[in-house]
Amino acid sequence: MYTLILAGGEGSRLWPLSQQQLPKQFLTFGDRYSLLQKTVLRSDRWEDAEAILIVAPAPLVSLIEKDLAKLDLKRPVTILVEPLKKNTAPAIALAVQYLLDRGASSSTMLFVVPADHFLEPEETLHKALDLAKQAVTTTPLVLFGIVPTRADIGFGYIEIGEPVASLGFHVRHFKEKPSVRLAEEYIQSQRYYWNSGMFAFSLAHFKTKLAPLSPSLEKLIQLPYATFLSRFDELSNLSFDYEIVERCKEAIVIPLSLNWSDVGSWDRVYEVLDKDLNRNAKVGQVTTLKTKNSLIVGGQKPISTLGVEDLLIVDTPSALLIASPKWAQEIKSIVSKTPSPIFYVKSVPFELLPQETLQLTSEAVLIFDDDVPALQAGHLVITCKKGEGIRVLPWTSILNLDTTKALKGLRIDLATSPAFDSIASDLENEPLLQT
Count of C-beta atoms within a 10 Å radius of residue 1 = 18
- Ranking 37-41, 75-79, 173-177, 201-205 by mean pLDDT, the lowest is 173-177
In this predicted structure, what is the pLDDT of residue 237? 86
Q: Higher-confidence residue: 178 or 313? A: 313
Residue-level pLDDT at 432: 29
pLDDT tens per residue across span 282-325 = 998 899 999 999 999 987 789 999 999 999 999 887 788 999 88
Cα angle, residue 85 at apex, residues 366 and 87 outer, rounded to 5°:
155
Residue among 19, 2, 137, 50 nearest 415 (CA): 19
CA distance 154 to 177: 6
Q: How far apart are CA 317 and CA 308, in angstroms?
A: 23
Summarize pLDDT for 384-417 with one digit per residue, the tens: 888 777 877 777 788 888 888 888 888 877 755 4
- What pLDDT sits at residue 415? 58
Asked whether the predicted pLDDT for residue 421 surpasses 90, the reply is no
Q: What is the pLDDT of residue 423?
A: 38
pLDDT score at 345: 61
- Residue 11's pLDDT band (cuts 50, 70, 90): low
* pLDDT score of 301: 84
Rounded to a whole number of angstroms, the CA Rg of the chain reads 24
> What distance lies between CA 269 and its chain's CA centroid?
15
- 39-94 tens-digit pLDDT: 999 999 988 888 999 999 888 888 899 899 999 999 899 999 888 888 899 999 99
Which pLDDT score is estimated for 418? Answer: 43
Q: Give the C-alpha distances (Å, rounded to integers) separating 109 from 53, 67, 141, 143.
A: 13, 26, 10, 13
How does strand 109-114 pair with strand 77-82?
unpaired
Percent of the chain whose pLDDT exceeds 90: 35
Q: Say how far apart CA 211 and CA 199 lie, in whole Å.
A: 14
